[in-house]
Amino acid sequence: MREQARQLTNRDIVTNTRALVADVRARVVDAKARVTDRNVVLSVQEYEKETEKPNIIFPLLIKPLNDKNSSLHPNRYWRGKAGANSATFGSSRSGGRRHAGRDLYGKELTTSIVAICDGVVLGRNAFFNQTDEVVILHTTNDGRKFIIRYAEVAPSSVAVRRGDNVIQGQEIAKIGALTPSITIDGRTTNMLHIEYYTGSEGFNLSKPLTDRNSSSEYRRRADVADPLDILIEGYANTFNVK
């Protein structure tokens, strides 16, 4: 009987030991799985961070012809100080008014204009010298909201209409050919004319963007502002330069 009891006890020990070893192995496997899962989650988060779209991109996918150190338009840098040259916000115009946007020079009918971030099209209308405008209410990833007027675009190239939702990078239109044409620096010049509205006067067009009876020297709605900061941010994100 004592021998049987000893044998049972030994069996119990072996069984318990095996169970303990199995439990330890299971815990190790579970721990490894947790580490693996955590690494997977971290990897996904890093990937999403790396591939997250920027808040704003540049409205042209190529650098404008009046970019820094341009040989074609050395004195029309779009990024110049307000009023510094005819392409900048606030520069003088005929009739005592001031330029209400910034001009990005490009080739007519071939230079694509894209949405700088997601948004909804508020309208499309005739603009100047047989070109059109597309007006979009934009909302950035970080919650900023504003209106952009993409103007002097080719009417035949407009790819959106009122009420359309657009996504960042989607082609809106192409730079138009002004008719009659204008000459700048001895060259026939076409451009994207871009205007920025803060939305303080509404995120819609119930108040028209152009107000020719306004006492403002810009002849625009009261919330018009210099788009420079928006353009600089987009330029840095699109061309990976500051």
Q: Please name the helix (run of DSSP H) or strand (run of DSSP E) that holds residue 102, with its range, or none.
A: strand 102-106
pLDDT value at residue 94: 86
Q: Are 133 and 153 in contact (CB under 8 A)?
A: yes
Measure the CA–CA gap between 137 and 143, rounded to whole angstroms: 12
φ, ψ (nearest 5 deg) of residue 197: -125, 130
Mean pLDDT of the chain: 87
Query: Which residue in this structure is represented by tokens 């407009």?
Result: 158
Count of beta carbons in the 10 Å neighbourhood of residue 120: 15
pLDDT value at residue 234: 98
Residues with Cβ within 8 Å of 231's Cβ and at least 6 positions away in sequence, in order, are: 58, 59, 78, 79, 102, 104, 194
pTM of the model: 0.79
> What's the whole-number mean pLDDT along residues 182-194?
95
pLDDT value at residue 9: 56
The answer, yes or no, to whether residue 48 has pLDDT greater than 50, is no
pLDDT value at residue 200: 97
> What's the whole-number mean pLDDT along residues 219-224?
96
> What's the whole-number mean pLDDT along residues 166-182?
96
Structure tokens at 132: 């059109």
